[in-house]
C-alpha cells in the first residue's frame, strides 16, 4: 500500500502533493537592516524542488521591538517585504506552498541588538532565561497590546504584501508567547499571569488578532509543550497546553504544529512525554504538523503507523538544510546527506546554505 506521506492534503486553501514539510530554521542570512540577501531566494527555491511541498520560513520578527538578533529577516519595512516577495514568487514558480513564521523573541533577545533600535529587553516577567542571562523588564499592558497589533500587521504584510500562502505563529521554544504560557517564566499577577486561563491569554489574543487580520485558513501555530529549551518546561505542561489547544481549536486554524519530545537514552521519559494529549485535544479540526528529529524510516512510521488515523505532516529541519531534494529522497528511499553544523548560523554566507547538492537521481530525472 502506498504511504500516506505521498497522499495529497489541504492546508487551509493550499493543496499539498505530499505530507513532508520544511521546518522553520534560523540561518542569519539577512543584511544589517534585516532584509534577506539575494541568495536566500535560491535557498528556498531549491527546497521547493518537489511541487506541492510546504515550506515554513525561518522565524521572522514582527517588528523591531519584537526582534533582538542581528541578521535575521524582518517583515515590517518596505524593503523587507519586497525581498520576501521575490522569495515567495520563486517558491510559487516551483509549485511550492510557503508560510511565514511570525516571531517575537522576548527575554531571549540580545540586549545590544535591541538597543540599536531603541528598545529594552522585555518579557512576561523579570525572570532571566538562565543564571547568566540579563534580566528582562516585564511588559506593560500598553506594550502587550502594541505587540498583539504587531502580530496582526506582520501577518498582513506577509500575506497581502509579500504573497505568502499563510503565517505560522511561533508559540514554541521559549520565545515570547511561550514566556507568557509557561509558569517557569510567567510570574505576573494581572490578567496575563497566574491561572492557566491568564497565562494562555497572550497566545490566544495573538491568534485572534492574526485570524481577524488574514483569516483562520491562512493561520497556523507552533507549540513545544515538553521542550526545556531556553529555560522552559513546566513540571506538568499537560493542563496548560490542553487548555491552550482547546482555545486555539475554536478558531479552526489551518494547522497545529507540535514539537515532539525526543530525549535520547531514557525510555521512561520517552514513554511519558508524549504530544498525544495535544493531538487528541486538537482532534480532526485540521492537519497536525509534527517535528521531532525525523529521518526517512521514522517519517514513514509516524505517518503510516503512529498517526495512521490522523492527517499529519512530518516536519524535517536539519536534513532539509543538507538535502534540497529531501522530499524526493524520502520518496525514493535515497540516503539523506549529512549536514554541517558549523555553517548553520554563518551570517550572510552562502557557504553551507545554497551549495548542498541535489542527488544524482534527482538531477537525472529533472535534468538540472
* pLDDT tens per residue across all 368 residues of the chain: 789 999 999 999 999 999 999 999 999 999 999 999 999 999 999 999 999 999 999 999 999 999 999 999 999 999 999 999 999 999 999 999 999 999 999 999 999 999 999 999 999 999 999 999 999 999 999 999 999 999 999 999 999 999 999 999 999 999 999 999 999 999 999 999 999 999 999 999 999 999 999 999 999 999 999 988 898 999 999 999 999 999 999 999 999 999 997 644 444 445 568 899 999 999 999 999 999 999 999 999 999 999 999 999 999 999 999 999 999 999 999 999 999 999 999 999 999 999 999 999 999 988 65
Spell out the residues 6+ positions from residue 232 whose beta carbon is closer than 8 angstroms to its own: 173, 174, 178, 182, 184, 185, 224
Q: Domain of 316?
A: 4-366
- The SS3 assignment for 216 reads helix
Residues 6+ apart with CB under 8 A from 14: 54, 97, 165, 166
Q: E-assigned strands of 29-185?
A: 54-61, 97-103, 122-123, 137-138, 166-170
Q: Verify whether residue 69 is a known catalytic residue.
A: no
**CATH no. for residue 154?**
3.20.20.70
Please tell me the distance from the alpha carbon of residue 36 to that of residue 88, in angstroms, as a whole number: 12
Q: How many domains does the chain have?
A: 1
pTM of the predicted protein model: 0.96
Residue 238, class by beta-carbon neighbours within 10 Å (0-12 exposed, 13-18 middle, 19+ buried)?
Answer: middle
In the chain, the DSSP E strands lie at 9-11, 14-16, 20-22, 54-61, 97-103, 122-123, 137-138, 166-170, 219-223, 255-259, 288-291, 312-316
Q: Which residues of 284-311 are buried (b: 16+ CB within 10 A; e: fewer)?
A: ebbbbbbbbebebeebbebbeeebeebb
Question: Of residues 76, 175, 353, 356, which has the active-site annotation?
Answer: 175
**Which residue carries 498582513 as its cell?**
156
* Closest by CA position to 337, among listed 350, 322, 325, 352: 322
Amino acid at each position: 500500500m502506498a504511504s500516506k506521506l505521498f497522499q495529497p492534503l489541504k492546508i487551509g486553501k493550499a493543496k499539498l502533493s505530499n505530507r513532508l514539510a520544511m521546518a522553520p530554521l534560523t540561518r542569519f542570512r539577512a543584511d544589517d537592516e534585516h532584509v534577506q540577501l539575494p541568495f536566500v531566494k535560491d535557498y528556498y527555491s531549491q527546497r521547493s524542488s518537489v511541487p506541492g511541498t510546504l515550506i515554513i520560513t525561518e522565524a521572522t520578527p514582527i517588528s523591531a521591538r519584537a526582534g533582538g538578533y542581528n541578521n535575521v529577516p524582518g517583515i515590517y519595512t518596505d524593503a523587507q517585504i519586497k525581498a520576501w516577495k521575490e522569495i515567495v514568487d520563486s517558491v510559487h514558480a516551483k509549485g511550492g506552498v510557503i508560510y511565514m513564521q511570525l516571531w517575537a523573541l522576548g527575554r531571549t533577545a540580545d540586549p545590544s541588538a535591541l538597543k540599536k533600535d531603541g528598545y529594552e529587553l522585555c518579557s512576561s516577567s523579570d525572570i532571566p532565561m538562565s543564571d547568566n542571562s540579563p534580566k528582562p523588564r516585564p511588559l506593560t499592558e500598553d506594550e502587550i497590546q502594541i505587540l498583539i497589533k504587531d502580530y496582526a500587521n506582520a501577518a498582513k504584510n506577509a500575506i497581502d504584501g509579500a504573497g505568502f500562502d499563510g503565517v505560522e505563529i511561533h508559540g514554541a521554544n521559549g520565545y515570547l508567547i511561550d514566556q507568557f504560557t509557561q509558569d517557569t517564566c510567567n510570574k505576573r499577577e494581572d490578567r496575563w499571569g497566574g491561572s492557566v486561563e491568564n497565562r494562555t491569554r497572550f497566545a490566544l489574543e495573538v491568534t485572534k488578532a492574526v485570524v481577524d487580520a488574514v483569516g483562520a485558513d491562512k493561520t497556523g501555530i507552533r507549540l513545544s509543550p515538553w521542550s526545556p529549551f531556553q529555560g522552559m518546561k513546566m513540571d506538568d505542561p499537560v493542563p496548560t497546553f490542553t487548555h491552550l489547544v482547546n482555545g486555539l481549536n475554536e478558531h479552526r486554524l489551518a494547522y497545529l504544529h507540535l514539537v515532539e519530545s525526543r530525549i535520547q537514552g531514557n525510555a521512561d521519559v520517552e514513554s511519558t512525554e508524549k504530544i498525544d494529549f495535544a493531538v487528541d485535544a486538537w482532534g480532526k479540526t485540521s492537519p497536525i504538523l509534527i517535528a521531532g528529529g525525523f529521518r526517512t524510516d521514522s517519517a514513514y512510521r509516524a505517518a503510516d503507523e503512529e498517526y495512521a488515523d490522523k492527517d499529519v505532516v512530518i516536519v524535517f529541519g536539519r536534513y532539509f538544510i543538507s538535502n534540497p531534494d529531501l522530499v524526493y529522497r524520502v520518496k525514493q528511499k535515497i540516503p539523506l546527506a549529512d549536514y554541517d553544523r558549523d555553517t548553520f548560523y554563518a551570517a550572510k554566507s552562502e557557504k553551507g546554505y545554497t551549495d548542498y547538492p541535489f542527488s544524482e537521481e534527482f538531477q537525472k530525472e529533472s535534468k538540472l
